Structure 1
Amino acid sequence: MEDSITLEDKLKERIKELTCLYRVSSLIRNSNFNNRKALLNEIGISLKQAIRFPKEAFVEIKVDEITVVTGKKIEDAIFIISAIKTFSHIKGAVTVGYSKRKFSENAFLKEEKLLLKKIALEIGDFLEREQIKEKEKIAQSQIERAGRLTILGEITAGIAHELNTPLANILGFTELLKERYKDDEIGSEDLDKVIDSAIYSREVVKKLMFFSCEMPQQMTAININTIIEESIRLLNPNFKKKNISCTVSFSSDEVYLKVDKIQLTQVIFNLVMNAIYFSPFKGKINIEVKDKQKIVEIKISDEGEGISKENSENIFNPFFTTKPVGEGAGLGLSVVHGIIKSHKGTIAHETNSPKGTIFVVRFPKS
């Protein structure tokens, strides 16, 4: 089947190749990134039609986990292949093949090999644009979320200030009433309930002020290893309740940071308490502290159920919680976020393997 090719045949092949390139460019240009497999399938059909012997050929396009084959794939085949790259990384390949029984390697024209490279390049460019668009979407989402958190911070700061005065009045006047009705046992008990409720409300207000960074900070350079070790010791009873093992590792014996000691303790407490709450019985929690060139990184990982995609955008928002009613006010992580932000740091979460969540806190050294 590999007869010599005439000038007229060469011209026909060039037309087929140019038609294929135009068709592929049009497909990619008009793609909305929604159905990658359908796009690759159309490209495969166009490429197969452009090959010298389309009825005998098969085309295979692989990109990440997607594989499309046009024509009947032949295992014992001769083929040409071109890598698909995005940002210099190989993401897949385009392959065109014939049966070894009918064809030799001379069946492929030099121009067909160039065509394959051009199509692989077109697909690579498309994938790069897809990645850029996805990164832009994530960046936009992060900007919008940061804006929402800033507005929430301003709102909660105002709420906290407005509530502080009436709560102080409730506590003060209730104490006076308790003195007046000290002989009334039932009345005193009721007043104790009012005092307890006011104190609880004041703690919620304090957390709101932490979230909005309104609490005064006492920044000192301290060895944070000591703070983390002390926090873990204090939480020992909580570990024992669920028979959870906790391992702590430090990249160096002393890791110094300029932080507010009380606020950093609150960050560690909240994150570890969360890890304990969501960990299974006999689970494992790992705390890792790394002293890097420009930052200090703290990783806290658990083996819980992990954070679902729909909740991941909201976990640092105040009053958002996945805990049952009465077991959490939804302020723990928002307080943590506020404290870390006030220290010019960042907090993020990622999936633990094989299950669970890793919270990653990074503080700048400067």
Structure 2
Amino acid sequence: MSETAEMPAPQVKSKWRPPIALIVYSVLLSIMMLPIISIIWFRATDSASLTTSTEAAVLLVVFLVTLAVAYVLNRNIAGPINALIVRSNEIAQGGRAAIRPLESYGTREVATLSQSFLDLAGKLVDRSEYVRSFAAHVSHELKSPLTSIRGAAELMLDDGDDQVMTKAERLHFLENIIDDSKRLDLLLERLRELAQAETALPVDKICADEIQSVLQVRFPDYVIAVSGQSAARFALPIEAANVVFANLAENAFQNGATCLDLRVEANRLSTKIFVADDGSGISDANKDRVFQPFFSTRRLDGGTGMGLEIARTMLASHGATITLQKSSCQGTVFLVTVPQSRG
């Protein structure tokens, strides 16, 4: 998981609420009934017996009914909408602490709108926190190689007649600059992949057999096998599937694995792909950190720590998930779960 875990949005309490149409039609019918009732009442009453007090009583009744109609409209429509406006301003200023249900929703439509609003506000706050954390990680990761390149360049620039740099020293600094520039290139390439992962691609259908063929071409020195319902097709674009499983394979082989097995279990709800390797595994201390951006145990070998984050983000854009199932000195198993396409 990323450092900023997504929290579920507060849920609107489920209960029966009248639709707006029912309230509006009821109000209109009530107003329309007032003159009809008045006419019936006057016809049933001797007009000669009408007095000022009687007329005042009729006017008072009409006034009270009007107030009741105004109260119903305000409580069930205007009030909740105004409260939702106030809550949106609070969320804009206060963040997650202000994301909470309203005290009253009035109508079914307002309750539905409020729930959609809470869900959207939660996602926006999560995204804002993620971007802030991610920007801090990026600046930190870029700073290290840039500082190294700058230091090496300054040392080479200070090389003068009084302190001549040997050829070996010069080559050492040049190699450091080249290595750090390569690391920057790789980091930027990973960032571009992550940016692409944030955008959902058109959904296609692919199966584990096709993924195995692609991976075998990319990693010809390793054994890549499939098992289970390997011909079952699931809703992932070919590009996304290649990136996700290539990152998992690359991580496995970089950690001592010699073979990779894709085992597929499919049902009417989802397709599960268990990606198992025979590598050195992940230590207990690192199991909760493997999906954190830029976390890598191979930093000295040029690892960026972006592979699993890219895979997680790309899968999430298609409603899929990836989890670490188990890991030991005998290997690691990741589970990719793809929901069945509604189409």
Q: TM-score range by the shorter chain?
A: 0.3 to 0.5
- Normalised to the residue count of structure 2, the TM-score between the two structures is 0.45
> Higher helix share goes to which structure?
2
> Higher strand share goes to which structure?
1
Q: Which has the higher contact order (CA 8 A, sep 6+)?
A: 2
- Normalised to the residue count of structure 1, the TM-score between the two structures is 0.42
